[in-house]
Structure 1
Amino acid sequence: MTWTVIAVIVVVVVIVLAAMSVKVLREYERAVVFRFGRLRPLLGPGPHLLLPLVNQLVRVDLRIVTLTIPPQEIITRDNVPARVNAVVLFQVLDPEKSVMAVENFAVATSQIAQTSLRSVLGRVELDTLLAHRSDLNEDLRATIDIQAVPWGVSVKVVEIKDVEIPESMQRAMAREAEAERERRAKIINAHGELQASEELRQAADTLSRSPASLQLRYLQTLLELGADQNSTVVFPLPMDIIGPFMQKFTGAPVAPPPENRSP
């Protein structure tokens, strides 16, 4: 009976050790193995047999990791306080360095991203932060990547998500934008008036050189006034009366109206 129990225990221990010794790595995983504390060759995807009391295995995920940077308090170059958060996408390219060079590469990358966010954005003005975000994203990516390369980590993308500024600054920016729109509207209006005045001057020159055209325009104006449904009373004057006045201002003679001849 005793030998039977011992045999059963041995079989169970062997089965447990065998189950613990078999390690299966997925396609996107690599394993850094230490045998008696010494680094062994990197293991790729597939099943592997490792003695649990002799070997220590550290799995490393090679997929791109999304890291959210919490809001950071920054002061821009023009002394404007702001709260900025961002997202960082990074990937482990060297599993051995990610285990040997740093205790926790994800935490280290997060800390470096936070300090770089405050450092890089603190060197630019608020207008640059709002208008040239893509350039700042690339600057942040390069800054973080340089510091993460020794850990076997490659920073793929850095994106600034939200920029929060004080409410007083938001109102000031709104007033500035409104003033800019008014300035552009005045410039457009001035250009329109200048163009209209030039057209009127050319029309006046044309009419002054053609008295018949001036007389036709006079008659057309009378017809337009008579067509309106209003209470305005118009007393038309003959061209021979207003002709001397027009000649005085335009310098060109005005043709008299045609005489009515009876047959």
Structure 2
Amino acid sequence: MFSSMIIGLIIIISLLFYTIRILREYERGVVFFLGRYQGNKGPGLIILIPGIQQMITVDTRTVVFDVPTQDVISRDNVSVKVNAVVYFRVIEPEKAIIQVENFQQATSQLAQTTLRSVLGQHDLDDMLAARDKLNRDIQTILDKHTDAWGIKVTHVEIKHVDIDESMIRAIAKQAEAERERRAKIIHAEGELQAAEKLLQAAVILAKQPQAIQLRYLQTMSDIASQDKTHTIVFPLPMDLISPLQELIKQQSLAQK
């Protein structure tokens, strides 16, 4: 009699275990009635009919997983190793269970192939300098393909782009050459601007001869204040030399 009561108690507890389920706030239950999809339940207390109804629990929180390092050949034939991190969440639990066998593994595999495909269409410079755009492109493609699985890919972030040591040296040389090119361009632009200013000054001085004399006196003052030697060479203006040359020329003609 006592053993029968124990067996009955075990049966009741087992039935209660399969009948009563409690789902947390972030959990949803996909319920099947005799193998056919019946609906979603949760969160809270869920009562099932043992043997007739079955429920699969799905976590609807955001899932974060690392995409394993992938060997990628860029559009300019540079071999790099790239890894990334993907954020996604289940928004339609019934699709995540019915449409795909293992939605987490399927999303991971899709992320790996998409990462190689997208990065292979860009140059190495884009991988290093335009990561935000690449992240958005990968996220858009993943979200489009996982929509049929009831999954929303919210964010993709490329973590590391590893390059061979020889390629790092080549990039450093390229950067140095680029800096030298920019320096030469800036120097040339400075020379051009200086030449334009000198031309403007020459035009002004040609229109105002008195300005030449003032500039000459200012130059003499600068030389006197800066030159510490005892000998100073003063340039003579052409205005003083020209009359002397003309006088000498007239005297020579008169003697002839």
TM-score range, shorter chain: 0.7 to 0.9
* Match among 230, 240, 251 for residue 243 of structure 1: 240
Q: CA deviation at 1:87?
A: 1.3
The one-letter code of the counterpart of 2:104 is: A
Unaligned 5+ residue runs, structure 2? 246-256
**Cα 1:91/1:183, change in 2 over 3 Å:** same
The one-letter code of the counterpart of 1:103 is: E
In 1: Cα distance, 2:36 partner to 2:236 partner: 117
**Cα 1:238/1:105, change in 2 over 3 Å:** closer
1:87-236 alignment to 2 at 5 Å? 87-228=85-226, 230-231=228-229, 233-236=231-234
**Cα 1:55/1:236, change in 2 over 3 Å:** same
**Cα 1:246/1:148, change in 2 over 3 Å:** farther
Aligned sequence identity (%): 47
**Cα 1:175/1:34, change in 2 over 3 Å:** same
Q: Scaled by the length of structure 1, what TM-score is found?
A: 0.80
* Match among 7, 19, 22 for residue 20 of structure 2: 22
Match of 2:253 in 1: none
Q: Scaled by the length of structure 2, what TM-score is found?
A: 0.82
The one-letter code of the counterpart of 2:110 is: I
In 2: Cα distance, 1:246 partner to 1:120 partner: 82
Q: CA deviation at 1:235?
A: 3.7
Q: Deviations over 1:123-168 (max 9, x none)?
A: 2222233333233222222322233222222222222222122222
In 2: Cα distance, 1:116 partner to 1:202 partner: 61
The one-letter code of the counterpart of 1:28 is: Y
* Match among 35, 39, 54 for residue 56 of structure 1: 54
Q: CA deviation at 1:212?
A: 3.5
Match of 2:82 in 1: 84
The one-letter code of the counterpart of 2:79 is: P
Q: 131-140 or 25-34, which moves further after superposition?
A: 131-140
Match of 1:258 in 2: none
The one-letter code of the counterpart of 1:135 is: K
The one-letter code of the counterpart of 1:133 is: R
**Cα 1:35/1:210, change in 2 over 3 Å:** closer
Q: CA deviation at 1:78?
A: 1.5
Q: Deviations over 1:86-135 (max 9, x none)?
A: 11111212211211222211011001110111122112222233333233
* Match among 41, 44, 69 for residue 43 of structure 1: 41
Once superposed, what is the RMSD of the aligned Cα atoms? Answer: 2.8
In 2: Cα distance, 1:177 partner to 1:232 partner: 51
